[in-house]
Amino acid sequence: MPCHIPGPSLQKLVLLVLLIWLGGGGSEVGDRIKGFWFSSASADGTLASAGDAAPDPAPGSSLALPPALALTGDLAAPLSFPWPQPPFLSSGELPSLELADIFPPRDLSALGFDPSRLRVLLATGDVIPARGTDRAIRGQKDDFRYPLRATKDLLANADLTVINLEAPLIKGCPLRSTSRFKFCGRPGFVAALQCAGVDIVTLENNHIDNYGRAAIAETIKHLEAANMAWVDRQVPAVREVRGLKFGFLAFNGVGEAIDRLTMVAQIKALRPQVDILTVAFHWGAEYVLLPQAAPGIAPDDPVKIAHLAVEAGADLIVGNHPHQVQAVEIYQGKLIAYSHGNFIFDQMWSYGTRVGVLGRYTFYDRILVQAEFLPMLIENYAQPVPLEGEEAEAVLDQMKTASYQLARKLAINQPVRSGLPEH
């Protein structure tokens, strides 16, 4: 399946126009940009110095552009120039993230950040290309890109994108299973994930083994062939983004209890090897707004597990399984997102199960400085579509209310600049 990837020629053209604009045009352009040229060996359109024509720029410096000319996406390659830059914050100067900085999300433009030091991790809700979702794909003449058609750019524009794959991807996956709760998808879905820029796939949940260990092994084979990292309770993944190492672990607490000693040991073992450690959990009761155990099904209290993971060294907790967007919490300065709801699944039977959020987590060096949640609504049993306006605000308001309710319930002594709102 072809993915359109902008070529370097477009980047170079846009950057050249910018340089001409900055230079004021005419014969002054050559003087203004003396000592710089577009390197034919550079695929990202960055600039190279012509030797002694200009002094080397300070490490990490970048060109500050007017907002109207700011480049985004693939055109956002940093430009290095030898003129003074505004002072950038160090990690020690960053204000701590609070609930008031999430609803609404903190505005980063006023904080003087060096954009080259910002890295974005995006996490989705449950991804289950099975049952009604698989039938919808078949109805689209096996266009496996159909579920991701409306969101692929959001996923691809992050530095790293992580999903929870809750069904094995196997050849011969039947159109209809012998059980409503026995899930599988087909290998063609891997190419769609790859096209959307998915980097990390967690395999810890209560459906990945529905067709046995051989099906998991086949799924891993397909993921590795597409250069996607996979994660479970024993196998971590590490990906580097511009010199910063992101580590991932995953654990399942549905249909079994999480082995807390093993979990803590795994987190502590990975902690010194990475700069940012994200732990994904499959846990808790379904169809509720606040995290809680489900006796006999999901026996662990998600709050206790999350706190233990943070105490062991986790920087970010990404939760799923409840098929419902849930509260978030800040514990010891670390963010816990208990459930992102559904992302790709066939639960069209209620508005709440059709809704999910993409978690967009922005780090400045090793520090989480922004958490933004992008509401989605599943259409036609398969395709999440971004919500806008009042519908999106309603999802975020419900999430905000649940988060403050959880804060009250746990009696967390955390500063909230705007005060604890009454609901």
Strand partners, 363: 119, 368
Q: What is 130-189 written as a DSSP string? A: -HHHHHHHHHTTS-TTGGGTTTHHHHHTSSEEEEEE-S-B-TT--SS-SSTT---B-THH
**What is the per-residue pLDDT for 110?**
84
265-271 average pLDDT score: 98
Judging by DSSP bridges, how do beta strands 160-165 and 36-38 pair with one another?
unpaired
**What is the per-residue pLDDT for 178?**
75
Strand partners, 240: 245
Model-wide pTM > 0.85: no
**What tokens appear for 141 in the block?**
């003449």
Is the pLDDT at 68 greater than 60? The verdict is no
Strand partners, 280: 250, 318
Mean of per-residue pLDDT scores for the chain: 83
Of 206 and 12, the structure prediction assigns the larger pLDDT to 206
Structure confidence at residue 416 as a pLDDT band (50, 70, 90): very low
Q: Give the span between the Cα atoms of 162 and 278, in whole angstroms.
A: 10
Domains of the chain: 8-85 (no CATH), 100-410 (3.60.21.10)
Residue 374 Ramachandran class (φ > 0 left, ψ -120 to 50 alpha, else beta) = beta
Positive or negative, the Cα torsion across 318, 319, 324, 329?
A: negative
Percent of the chain past pLDDT 90, that is, above it, reads 72
**What is the per-residue pLDDT for 354?**
98
Q: Give the span between the Cα atoms of 13 and 8, in whole angstroms.
A: 9
Q: Give the span between the Cα atoms of 26 and 380, in whole angstroms.
A: 56
- Looking from the CA of 69 toward its CB, the CA atoms found within 13 Å total 13
128-148 average pLDDT score: 97
Q: Give the span between the Cα atoms of 412 and 392, in whole angstroms.
A: 28
Q: Give the span between the Cα atoms of 158 and 147, in whole angstroms.
A: 18
Percent of the chain past pLDDT 70, that is, above it, reads 75
Q: Give the span between the Cα atoms of 236 and 190, in whole angstroms.
A: 20
CB 402 within 8 A of CB 327: yes
192-209 average pLDDT score: 97
CB 415 within 8 A of CB 98: yes
**What is the per-residue pLDDT for 316?**
98
Out of 38-42, 137-141, 151-155, least confident range: 38-42
